[in-house]
Amino acid sequence: MLSVTIDRPETRNAVDLDTLRSIETIMNDLDDARVVVLSGAPPAFCSGADLTGVELGEFTDTLQRVLVSFGAAPVITLAAVDGPALGAGSQLAAACDLRMSTPESRFGVPAAKLGLAVDRWTVDRLVQEAGASVARRMLLTGETATGAELLGGFVHRLGTVDEALAWAQSLCDLAPLTIRAHKLALEAIVTDEEIEAARLAAWASQDADEGRRAFKEKRPPQFRGH
């Protein structure tokens, strides 16, 4: 498991270009990680983009690459949200595969209050992950919603960062090739042929044999990723 923490408490973890570059570097070199957990240092998950450096060009291009990298990663990505997740914070949470939030944490995209507009990828992702109705509320009103209000949709579980880390640790026991194949299909970022090749690779793997043996022997499987 790899834990990534946005640590700019003086700005309530608003992300600047350097922060995005650091996250991009991490996501490009995951080594043997099976789950990536993204969180923020107290008192926030991420309060948005650092408006002192937000402009079209390098910042928005880097943010776009970072967002896409969470879905493109062949491992599970989990947002552990405790505190505000606004603007870029909601974008980062939406980019992850799974989200655990404290009940009172707030999500929202206040772009309409700033005269800005998010990219098409973010709009599509919010519709996909939160549902069209919630996405419209976030994007057209600038209003926020709590983790408790979004449970069962955008938010998968309620809990603390520590509980999210415990969940992530349990997810590390899942079969890596299965996760990779399913993520390729869910993200639809490759061709149908590549998705099918990944599915067949999972079925033909030693992990698949181990999974069946463990089931018959009534023991936890030991997946190796091959």
Question: What are the tens digits of pLDDT across the range 115-139?
Answer: 888 999 999 999 999 999 999 999 9
Residues 6+ apart with CB under 8 A from 46: 6, 12, 13, 14, 15, 40, 84, 85, 86, 87, 88, 89, 92
Token pair listed for 99? 């989200």
Q: What is the CATH number of domain 2-171?
A: 3.90.226.10
Q: What's phi and psi for 85, nearest 5 deg?
A: -130, 85
Identify whether the C-beta of residue 122 lies closer than 8 Å to the C-beta of residue 91: yes
Where does the pLDDT of residue 201 fall: very low under 50, low under 70, confident under 90, or very high at 90 and above? confident
Closest CA to 93 of 56, 131, 39, 50: 39
Token pair listed for 115? 């005269």
Longest dimension (CA), the chain: 60
Q: In this predicted model, which residue has the larger pLDDT, 223 or 44?
A: 44
Closest CA to 53 of 8, 113, 84, 95: 8
Q: In this predicted model, which residue has the larger pLDDT, 53 or 221?
A: 221
- 42-56 tens-digit pLDDT: 999 999 998 776 666
State residue 116's pLDDT score. 84
Residues 6+ apart with CB under 8 A from 119: 60, 64
Cis ω for the linkage preceding 74 (within 30 of 0): no
Q: In this predicted model, which residue has the larger pLDDT, 217 or 83?
A: 83
Determine the average pLDDT of the residues in 57-80.
94
Domain residue ranges of the chain, discontinuous segments joined by +: 2-171, 176-217
